[in-house]
Amino acid sequence: MPLPDLMAVTAERFAGKTALVFPDQSISFGALYLQSRQVAARLQRLGIGPGARVAILHENALAPVIFFWGVLASGAQVVDVPCLAGVETIDEILA
């Protein structure tokens, strides 16, 4: 089962259950699914979808997780770029 489909099933079964907890915020599976689908829709309107690669430069926070699932839902591939990786490593990832 593709990951976006797994997220949809999980969000349906556990909509009100907590999916992620960060020190200053948390999100339910239902909200994570809805917000990631909004990201996916926006990416698709921009012409980003299957075959595209989307880099996400991030810290450990909620927004990058939403973007991750949104990119996958759009059909594009996620390129994970942790901001603590250092300039040389980031250059290699994005090359």
SS (H, E, C) the chain: CCHHHHHHHHHHHCCCCEEEEECCEEEEHHHHHHHHHHHHHHHHHCCCCCCCEEEEEECCCHHHHHHHHHHHHHCCEEEEEEHHHCHHHHHHHHC
- What is the mean predicted confidence (pLDDT) over 53-80? 94
With 90 as the cut, is the pLDDT of residue 83 above it?
Answer: no
With 90 as the cut, is the pLDDT of residue 45 above it?
Answer: yes
For 4-40, the pLDDT digits (tens) are 999 999 999 999 999 999 999 999 999 999 999 999 9
- What is the mean predicted confidence (pLDDT) over 53-75? 94
